[in-house]
């Protein structure tokens, strides 16, 4: 395997972990599994909308990096085989 393959694999693994953590940090919007496990209760100590917006932007950015890494890793593996 080449250095590019290892770099893409590392990028894919790190971005996958970050996407999982960031999605779990989002607050529930009501209904679904989040309210089933107590996430539907509103609290007076809830986060600000600015923090939630920034978390959403960061999640989308890491998701785009993850998607690009998946495509690039697939192309590199296709060329090497």
Share of the chain above pLDDT 70, in %: 73
pLDDT tier, 35 (very low <50, low <70, confident <90, very high otherwise) = low
Q: What is the dihedral of CA 53, 55, 61, 66, to 10 degrees?
A: -140
CA 72 to CA 44: how far, in whole Å?
Answer: 44
Give the chain's end-to-end CA distance (angstroms, integer): 11
Element (H, E) at 51: helix 49-80
The model's pLDDT over 6-22, given as tens digits with 9 standing for 90+, comes to 999 999 999 999 999 99
Secondary structure percentages of the chain, helix, strand, coil, to 5: 75, 0, 25
Are the C-beta atoms of 70 and 20 separated by less than 8 Å? Answer: no
pTM comes to: 0.74
């Amino acid at each position: 395997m080449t250095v590019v393959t290892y770099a893409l694999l590392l990028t894919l693994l790190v971005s996958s972990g970050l996407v999982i953590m960031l999605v779990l940090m989002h607050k529930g919007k009501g209904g679904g599994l989040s309210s089933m496990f107590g996430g539907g209760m509103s609290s007076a100590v809830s986060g600000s909308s600015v923090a939630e917006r920034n978390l959403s932007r960061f999640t989308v950015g890491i998701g785009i990096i993850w998607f690009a890494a998946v495509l690039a890793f697939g192309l590199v593996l296709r060329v090497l085989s």
